[in-house]
Amino acid sequence: TSAYALNGVARGVGTFAGTMVGGFLPMLFATLMQQDVDAPGPYRAALWMGSALALLGLIPLILISPAEPKQHHVKDEPTVPFPLLAVGLLVLHVYLSQLGPASCQFFCSAYMDTTLLLSAAAIGLLTGIGQFTTILAPLLTPRLVARHGNGWTLMATSLGTALSLLPLALIPHWSAAGVGRLGALALAAIWMPALQVFQMELVDPRWRTVTYGIVSMAMGCAYASVGFIGGRVVSGWGYSTLFSLALTMTLLGTVLMWGMLKNPAFVRREE
């Protein structure tokens, strides 16, 4: 859990640094290229810079020495069937609970721009504060897991995400939008490391890679659903309806995890 938490911290640092530096790159390249900042050239160069920096991430992977895999005596172990019901319930929890963070990530900036009429600088400031919290938030995961377990952490952070969406749905004010976005981003950063360990503890080692792929697909489906449907909901009924629907779905995901934790037949007991 600590390793996954540190991974989340590193990801948050990269996102925050990229956001801060990326904001200045178009202006820098516009000066170097002697073009207007509204021209596409400076932004194209900034995107190429991001691609070049991403390629540098291959260097640490090359330098890592391969670890000796643990030898599992498959012939001596009984064949363990794939836990279809348990994984199916986890997939449903992931899908429902991620609709809240997805709606905030996709539509919070547009909401603050078109409805609250905030300036680009104010939106950037609120977004930057929220992203900064994602750097430190995963450090709380090992402490929560050690005290309550990964399943409880998933349930609690999903509930917290639903509560964070409440001011976005009910209070049309910049402070409510800022608090809601900050809460959703921070709790999602705590939720992720707990999920990564929980899904591995849920299944036999031979099924972990398959389960990881299925769960990742469920998370992607949640974001895709919000991307496809969210705009229609906003255009037809407004942002308040979108955040209310996302809140309701996230609560359902919380209740589902609570039910899983109450039934040991579906979830392996955490040691």
Between residues 231 and 121, the one the model is more confident about: 231
Rounded to two decimals, what is the model's pTM? 0.80
pLDDT tens digits, one per residue of 165-214: 999 999 999 999 999 999 998 899 899 999 988 998 888 888 999 999 99
pLDDT band at 266 (very low <50, low <70, confident <90, very high): low
- 41 in Cβ contact with 178 (< 8 Å): no
Using CA atoms of 106, 247, 251, 203 in order, give the dihedral in degrees to the nearest 10: 0
pLDDT at position 57 is 87
**Over 91-145, what HEC string results?**
HHHHHHHHHHHHHHHHHHHHHHHHCCCCCHHHHHHHHHHHHHHHHHHHHHHHHHH
Dist CA 41 CA 35 (whole Å):
8
Above pLDDT 70, what percent of the chain?
92
The DSSP string of 179-235 is HHHHHHHHHHHHHHHHHHHHHHHHS-GGGHHHHHHHHHHHHHHHHHHHHHHHHHHHH
Dist CA 265 CA 174 (whole Å):
45
pLDDT tens digits, one per residue of 21-36: 777 788 888 888 888 8
